[in-house]
Structure 1
Amino acid sequence: MRSAAALYVGGLLGPFGAGVVASMLPELGTTFGISQSTAATSLTAYLVPFALFMLVSGTLGERWGPMRTLRAAYAGYAVVAVLAVIAPWFWLFQASRGLQGVANAFTTPLLLTKLASVTPNERLGRTLGLYGAVQSIGQTSAPLIGGLAAEGSWRWAFAGLAAVATALTASPLPPDEHVPDRPPRLRDAWRPVVMWSGFVMFLAWACLAGLPFLVAFRVDDAFSLGPGERGLVLTAFGIAGFVAARLAGTVSDRYGPRLAITLGLLLGAVAVGAIGVVGTLPLVVVAWAAGGVCGQLILVGINALVLGNGGGGGAISVVTALRFLGMSVSPAAFTALYHHSAALGFLVPGALLAVTTSLLAHRIFRSGTGPRARLRHSRG
C-alpha cells in the first residue's frame, strides 16, 4: 500500500514542477534582471525537453529496469532542483529547469505502467482516474504554492521540490516483476494503434487543455478581470478535472475507453466553442470547468486503451510526449486566430475536437483495442 502511494505522489511531482513558476515570474525577473516575458520562458525550458525525451524514455526505462530508473530520476530531480535554488544566473536556472523536465520524462511513463501492472484489468480506469486526479492537484496547486513561496523567496519552492524528490528516492516502490526475454526496442512502441492514440491526444491537448492562455485573453477582453481573478477562473479546469477523475475512470471501466474518449471529445467541442460565444462570466467559467471534465475522460480513456492492450512504458511514453507537444503548439496555432475573431479562436479548436472523433477515433478502435481486445490480450 505504501509503495502504491509513492507512485501517486510521484505523479504529482511532474505537473507541480512544471507549473510552479507561473506565479513567480515578476520575482524571477527581479532576481535575474530580466523581463517577465523572458522569465516566462522558464516554463518552455521545462516542457520542451520533457516532451522530447518522453518519446524514448519509457522504452529506455524498461530496458534499464523501471524501479532503478525511477529512483535515478528522482535523485536527479532533487539535484537539479537544488541547482535552481542556488543558481546566480538565469542561464543556469534555465538549464536546471530543462534538466528537471528530462528527469520527469523518465518518471511519468514508468509510473503509469507500474500502476497498470499492479491493478486488476477491470479496475484500470479507476486507477488511472485517481492518478489523473493527483496530477490535477499538482497542476492546480503549483501556481498557488509557488506564489506563496515567492512572498518570501521563490527559491523556497525549489527547495521544497528537492525535498520531495529526495523522499521519493528513498520511498518503497513495487518491485519489478520479471525481466523481459529481450530488451525493449524503441521501434516496438511505434505501432499504428499507439500513433493514432497519440495523434488523438495531440489534437485534444492542443484544442482543449492547451487553451488556458486563450481563456485568460477572453476573460480579460470581455470582462476586464485582473490577474488574480483570471487565475481563479483558470483553476476551474483543474478543480473540475480532479473532481471528475473517479467518474472518468468508472465510465472507462464500465462502458469501455471508447465511450469515455468519444464523450470527452464531443462534449469538449461544445464546451470550448461555448467559451468564445457566451456573454456572461459564470457561463465561461462553467464551460471551462466542463472542459476539465472532458480532458479527464479523454486522458483516462486513451491511457486505458494503450495500457490495457498490452502497451508498456515505451507506448505510453510516446502518447504522453505527443500530449505535451500538442499543448506546446496551442499558442502558436490559435493566438492570431483569436485576435482576428474571439469567437473563431474557440470555435475552430472546438470543431477540430469534433472532427477528431469522426476521422480518427474509429481507426484506433478498429486496430484491435478496446475492452474485447483487452480481454483477449489478458487471456492470451
Structure 2
Amino acid sequence: MTESEPALRIGTPAGRGTLLAAILASGAVFLDSTVINVALPRLGAELGATVADLQWTVNGYLLMLAAFVLLGGALGDRFGRRRVFLLGVVWFAVASVLCGLAQGTGELIAARVLQGAGGALLTPGSLSVLQASFHPDDRGRAIGVWAGLSGVSTALGPFLGGWLIDALSWRWIFFINLPLAVAVVFAALRWVPESRDVDVARTGRRRFDMTGAALGALGLGGITYALIDAPARGVRSLPVLLSVLVGVVAAAGFVWLERRRGEAAMLPTGLFSSRLFSALNVFTVVVYAALGGFTFFLAVYLQNVVGWSALRTGLATVPMTVLLLIGSSRAGALSARIGPRLPLTVGPVIAAVGLLLLRGVRPGASYWTDVLPGVVLFGIGLTLVVAPLTASVLAAVSDRFAGVASGFNNAASRAGGLLAVAALPLLVGLSGTGYEQKADLTHAYRGALAWCAGLLLGGALLAAVLVRRPTREAPGAQPCPSLPAATPPDR
C-alpha cells in the first residue's frame, strides 16, 4: 500500500522524467559493475597494487551490494522511496569521486566499499520508484523500458570505460558518475513523486533488519578476507583462521536470527522450504561465480599478456551482453513452454565450452578466430540461463514474497561473483604482483577458466537433478538479475 494511488502515465513529462531518473541511476551502477575489470591492469600499475588489492577493489563493492541491497529497498518502503533513492544517488556520486581521487590502494578500496553502500540504496530504489509511481496500465511498459535501456548501459560500459581509460585515465570511469548523478537528482526532485508503505510508516512495524544485514555482511566479509589473504599469509596463519571463524560464526548468527524473526526477518527462512527455490539459488551462486571469475581474469589477461588496449579489451565481451539483451526474452518464452530444466542444464554446458575455447587465447591472438567464438558460446549459454532462472525463482514462492525472493536471488548472484574473485587466485596460485608477470598470469588464467568451466558443469548437473517445472507462473514485470537488475523489497 502507498500514500496514494499511483497515477503517472508514461507519455507525460512527469512520467518521462521519472523514467529518466531511474534509468540514469541504475545505468551508473550497472556501468561500474562492467567496466571495473577493464581498468584493473592500469590502476594496478599506477597504484602499485597486488593481486589482493585488485580483488578487494572488485569485492569491496560487491560485498556491500550483496549484503545490503534488501535492506536498501526496505528503508525506502519505510522512510520514502524517493528520499532513500536520492540519498543513494548522492552517496554513490561522492564515493565515485573519492574512487577517482584515490592515491593509494587503501583509499581506493575504502571508497569502493562506500560506493557499494550507495549502490545498495539506489539500486532497489530505482525499480521500486517505478512500481509505486506509475499507473497499473503503464507500469509494465515503464519497467520494460527501464530494463532495456539499463541493459544498454551494461553493453556500453566496457566500450565507454575502455575509451576513457585509453584517452584519459582509469580515474574517469568513476568521475563520469558525477554528471549522471547531477542529472538524476534534478530529474528526481522535479518529477519523481514520493511514496512509501503506509502500513509501515503508520505503525512503525519493522520491515528492515539492520542486525541481520550486518551479520550477513560480516559473514561474507570474513570468508572473503580469509580467501584473499591466505596466499600471502598462509592458510594456517592466525589472521586467516580468525577471519574464517568470524565469517562462519556471523553466517550462523544470521541464519539463527532470521529463523527466530520469522516473516518479520529481512530474509524469511520459510522461503527455503521450497526445494526448487533453494536449488535455484545454489545454481545462481555457482553460475555467477563462473561469470565473475571469468570476467575478472579475462580483462587482466588480454591486457597484460595478449597486449590489447583497454578499449579493445572492453569491446571483446560486448557480443555476450548483446546476446543477453536480444535473446533473454526468447529464452524466457522457451522456458515457459518446455519448463526451465532443459535451458538451465544446456545453457551452462554451452557456456563451459566457450570458456574452454578461451583458455587457448595466446599473445598475437586474433579476435575474430580466437576470442569471438568462445565469447559467443559463453553468451549463448548465459542467455539460455538468465530469464528462465529469474522466472523460476519468482514462481517458486508465493506472490507476496516475490520481491524478497528476487532480491535474494540478486544478492546470491553478487555473492557468487564475490566468492569467485576471492577464491580463484588462491586456487590457481596467483598472488603479489604475479598478474604483471606473463608466465604467472598465463598459468593462472588457464587454471581459473578451467575452474569456471567446472562450476558451470556442476550447475548444469544441479539443474538436471533438482530443477523441475514450477507449479505456477511467475508474477509479471520482474527483470532478470543478470542485466544486472535491481529488485524491490517485499511489499
Q: TM-score, normalised by structure 1?
A: 0.76
User: Which residue does 2:43 correspond to in 1?
Assistant: 28
User: Which residue does 1:353 correspond to in 2?
Assistant: 460
**Separation in 2 of the partners of 1:29 and 1:342?**
22
User: Which residue does 1:11 correspond to in 2?
Assistant: 26
Q: Secondary structure at the match of 2:103?
A: coil
1:50 is displaced (CA, Å) by 1.6
Give deviations 1:167-223, integer Å, cap 9, x for gaps.
2122232542651254325416425337864762452353257436447879979xx
**Separation in 2 of the partners of 1:244 and 1:289?**
10
1:303 is displaced (CA, Å) by 6.9
User: Which residue does 1:102 correspond to in 2?
Assistant: 117
User: Which residue does 1:378 correspond to in 2?
Assistant: none
| Conserved 8 A contact 2:95-2:115 | yes
Tell me, yes or no, if structure 1 residue 272 matches structure 2 residue 351: yes
Aligned ranges 1:208-219 → 2 under 5 Å: 208=288, 210-211=290-291, 213-214=293-294
Greater shift in the superposed pair: 165-174 or 179-188: 179-188
Q: Which amino acid aligns with 1:370?
A: A
Give deviations 1:246-294, integer Å, cap 9, x for gaps.
4456668xx48x94x4454133133123335669745423311202312
Structure ID, larger Rg = 2
1:79 is displaced (CA, Å) by 1.7
| Conserved 8 A contact 1:198-1:318 | no
User: Which residue does 2:378 correspond to in 1?
Assistant: 288
User: Is the alpha carbon distance of 1:266 and 1:342 closer, same or farther for their aligned partners in structure 2, counting shifts above 3 Å?
Assistant: same
Aligned ranges 1:152-167 → 2 under 5 Å: 152-167=168-183
| Conserved 8 A contact 2:161-2:314 | no
Specify every segment of 5 or more residues in structure 1 that has no aligned partner in the other structure, as ranges.
375-380
User: Is the alpha carbon distance of 1:15 and 1:89 closer, same or farther for their aligned partners in structure 2, counting shifts above 3 Å?
Assistant: same
Tell me, yes or no, if structure 1 residue 317 matches structure 2 residue 400: no
| Conserved 8 A contact 2:290-2:456 | no
| Conserved 8 A contact 1:65-1:176 | yes
Greater shift in the superposed pair: 126-135 or 50-59: 126-135
**Separation in 2 of the partners of 1:249 and 1:119?**
25
| Conserved 8 A contact 2:290-2:452 | no
User: Is the alpha carbon distance of 1:288 and 1:66 closer, same or farther for their aligned partners in structure 2, counting shifts above 3 Å?
Assistant: same
Specify every segment of 5 or more residues in structure 2 that has no aligned partner in the other structure, as ranges.
1-14, 210-264, 361-368, 429-444, 479-491
1:328 is displaced (CA, Å) by 1.9
User: Which residue does 1:377 correspond to in 2?
Assistant: none
User: Is the alpha carbon distance of 1:315 and 1:217 closer, same or farther for their aligned partners in structure 2, counting shifts above 3 Å?
Assistant: closer
Tell me, yes or no, if structure 1 residue 234 matches structure 2 residue 234: no
User: Is the alpha carbon distance of 1:264 and 1:100 closer, same or farther for their aligned partners in structure 2, counting shifts above 3 Å?
Assistant: farther
**Separation in 2 of the partners of 1:122 and 1:62?**
21
Give deviations 1:314-363, integer Å, cap 9, x for gaps.
4443332112102222356677499679767525522423423541556x
User: Of 268, 272, 276, which residue of structure 2 is paired with 1:190?
Assistant: 268
User: Of 365, 370, 374, which residue of structure 1 is paired with 2:474?
Assistant: 370
User: Of 66, 78, 93, which residue of structure 2 is paired with 1:78?
Assistant: 93
Q: Which amino acid aligns with 1:84?
A: C
1:69 is displaced (CA, Å) by 0.7
Greater shift in the superposed pair: 142-151 or 172-181: 172-181
User: Which residue does 2:257 correspond to in 1?
Assistant: none
Q: TM-score, normalised by structure 2?
A: 0.61
**Separation in 2 of the partners of 1:353 and 1:289?**
16
Equivalent pairs counted in the alignment come to 363
**Separation in 1 of the partners of 2:97 and 2:138?**
41
**Separation in 2 of the partners of 1:83 and 1:144?**
23
**Separation in 2 of the partners of 1:174 and 1:251?**
37
1:73 is displaced (CA, Å) by 0.7
Tell me, yes or no, if structure 1 residue 62 matches structure 2 residue 58: no
Greater shift in the superposed pair: 185-194 or 149-158: 185-194
Sequence identity (%): 22
Q: Which amino acid aligns with 1:70?
A: F
User: Is the alpha carbon distance of 1:234 and 1:205 closer, same or farther for their aligned partners in structure 2, counting shifts above 3 Å?
Assistant: farther
| Conserved 8 A contact 1:241-1:292 | yes
User: Is the alpha carbon distance of 1:107 and 1:216 closer, same or farther for their aligned partners in structure 2, counting shifts above 3 Å?
Assistant: closer
User: Is the alpha carbon distance of 1:173 and 1:87 closer, same or farther for their aligned partners in structure 2, counting shifts above 3 Å?
Assistant: same
Greater shift in the superposed pair: 275-284 or 2-11: 275-284
User: Of 168, 183, 199, which residue of structure 2 is paired with 1:180?
Assistant: 199
Q: Which amino acid aligns with 1:294?
A: L
Q: Which amino acid aligns with 1:330?
A: A
Q: Secondary structure at the match of 1:370?
A: coil
**Separation in 1 of the partners of 2:392 and 2:317?**
24
Q: Secondary structure at the match of 2:112?
A: helix
**Separation in 2 of the partners of 1:167 and 1:218?**
33
**Separation in 1 of the partners of 2:282 and 2:53?**
26
User: Is the alpha carbon distance of 1:120 and 1:193 closer, same or farther for their aligned partners in structure 2, counting shifts above 3 Å?
Assistant: farther
1:52 is displaced (CA, Å) by 1.4
Tell me, yes or no, if structure 1 residue 200 matches structure 2 residue 280: yes
**Separation in 2 of the partners of 1:106 and 1:329?**
22
**Separation in 2 of the partners of 1:81 and 1:48?**
16
RMSD, aligned α-carbons: 4.1
User: Of 149, 156, 159, which residue of structure 1 is paired with 2:164?
Assistant: 149
